[in-house]
């Protein structure tokens, strides 16, 4: 049971971070379908930092440097979406799809180049971080606490405060609901949308490194992040673009994802003789079912996905 709780919390942490990233972007008026690609790039930055840091580095410094590397890569990569969608008014769905395809391919090329530089015969896309990953974990009895669980909780609280209790958050949401009205009272819509997309890059990049360090000590970047970016979008929609609801939805989806890791420890589940692949599919099946029944009641920001035209009223 402890193992189920452990995996539920770590997968929920991933979903919270990435879904909150999508939440900020869409509240500003930009649809971020590219969360999957942003996660991959954030994971790449964090994984390479873990690989090249010395195991003797203080744990707190390892955590901070890994977070900074993931955040930097996620934000830089999200700039591609910001420039294309805000400056060039490109179709946001197409740009996001392109970012997802490019992210995994670029990560594989970078990792293979680094591996071949140290060993010409090593053409794998795997990054190993066995020794330094221990800095992220604290053993509490039979429970393995990951510091990223705390990071996700803090991100949830901060997001709620920023969106609903600060001038910045209210202005950001105004740009996603009625940008013309926001512009008429002196709010710079382009700057606010840039801020929303960059914040989504920050949180999405963090979510990427949390995902690839959940339960494993190396990652093969050819696998991308196994659709977790799209699962986070489902969590965001199910959570109605509200931080508290997103947190609760993430726990639900995280539970079903955790089952695929620990179902062998439950005799009742083993007795059902259900193939392991079904458990791997569960979170995605649940997302389809949930969205099918709740999407009609979803209320997205009114101006999301619509390029802002200053001359339009």
Average pLDDT of the chain is: 93
Nearest to 299 by CA among 231, 237, 229: 237
In percent, the amount of the chain with pLDDT more than 90 equals: 80
Residue 254 has pLDDT above 90, yes or no: yes
What is the per-residue pLDDT across 222-235, written as a single tens digit (0 to 9) for each?
999 989 999 999 99
Q: What's this model's pTM, rounded to 2 decimal places? A: 0.96
The region of weakest confidence among 126-140, 190-204, 299-313 is 299-313
User: Residue 233, Cβ neighbours under 10 Å: how many?
Assistant: 23
What is the per-residue pLDDT across 146-175, written as a single tens digit (0 to 9) for each?
999 999 999 999 999 999 999 999 999 999
Confidence of residue 192 (pLDDT cuts 50, 70, 90): very high
Sign of CA dihedral 249, 223, 56, 134: positive
Beta pairing, strands 126-128 & 143-146: unpaired
What is the per-residue pLDDT across 7-40, written as a single tens digit (0 to 9) for each?
999 999 999 999 999 999 999 999 999 999 999 9
Confidence of residue 290 (pLDDT cuts 50, 70, 90): confident
Higher-confidence residue of 168 and 143: namely 168
pLDDT score for 273: 77
The answer as to CATH 1.10.3470 being correct for domain 2-297 is yes
pLDDT score for 280: 83
Higher-confidence residue of 212 and 263: namely 212
pLDDT score for 79: 98
What is the per-residue pLDDT across 257-283, written as a single tens digit (0 to 9) for each?
998 888 776 767 777 778 878 888 888
DSSP 220: E
* Tokens standing for residue 209: 């490194």
Which 3-state string (H, E, C) describes 113-152?
HHHHHHCCCCCCCEEECCCHHHHHEEEECCEEEEHHHHHH
Let me know: does 200 contact 32? Beta carbons within 8 Å.
yes
What is the per-residue pLDDT across 50-63, written as a single tens digit (0 to 9) for each?
999 999 999 999 99
Mapping DSSP to helix (H, G, I), strand (E, B) and coil, where does residue 219 land?
A: strand
Let me know: does 18 contact 207? Beta carbons within 8 Å.
yes
């Amino acid at each position: 049971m402890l193992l189920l709780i452990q995996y539920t919390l770590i997968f929920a942490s991933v979903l919270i971070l990435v879904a909150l990233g999508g939440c900020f972007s869409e509240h500003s008026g930009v649809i971020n379908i590219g969360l999957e690609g942003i996660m991959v790039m954030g994971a790449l930055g964090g994984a390479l930092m873990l690989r090249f840091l010395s195991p003797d580095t203080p744990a707190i410094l390892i955590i901070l440097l890994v977070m900074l590397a993931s955040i930097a890569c996620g934000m830089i990569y999200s700039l591609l979406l910001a420039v294309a969608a805000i400056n060039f008014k490109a179709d946001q769905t197409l740009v996001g799809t392109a970012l997802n395809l490019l992210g995994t391919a670029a990560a594989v090329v970078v990792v293979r180049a680094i591996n071949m530089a140290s060993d010409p015969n090593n053409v794998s896309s795997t990054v190993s971080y066995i020794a330094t990953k221990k800095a992220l974990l604290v053993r509490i009895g039979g429970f393995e606490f990951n510091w990223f669980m705390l990071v996700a909780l803090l991100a949830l609280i901060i997001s709620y405060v920023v969106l609903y209790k600060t001038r910045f958050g209210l202005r950001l949401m105004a740009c996603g609901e009625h940008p013309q009205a926001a512009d008429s009272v002196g709010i710079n819509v382009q700057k606010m949308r840039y801020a929303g997309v960059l914040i989504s890059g920050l949180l999405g990049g963090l979510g990427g490194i949390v995902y690839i360090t959940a339960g494993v000590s190396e990652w093969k970047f050819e696998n991308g992040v196994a659709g977790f970016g799209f699962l986070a979008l489902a969590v965001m929609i199910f959570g109605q673009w509200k931080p508290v609801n997103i947190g609760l939805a993430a726990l639900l989806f995280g539970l079903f994802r955790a089952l695929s890791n620990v179902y062998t420890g439950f005799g009742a589940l083993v007795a059902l003789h259900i193939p392991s692949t079904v458990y791997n599919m569960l979170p995605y099946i649940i997302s389809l079912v949930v969205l099918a029944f709740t999407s009609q009641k979803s209320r997205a920001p009114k101006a999301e996905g619509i390029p802002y035209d200053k001359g339009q009223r």
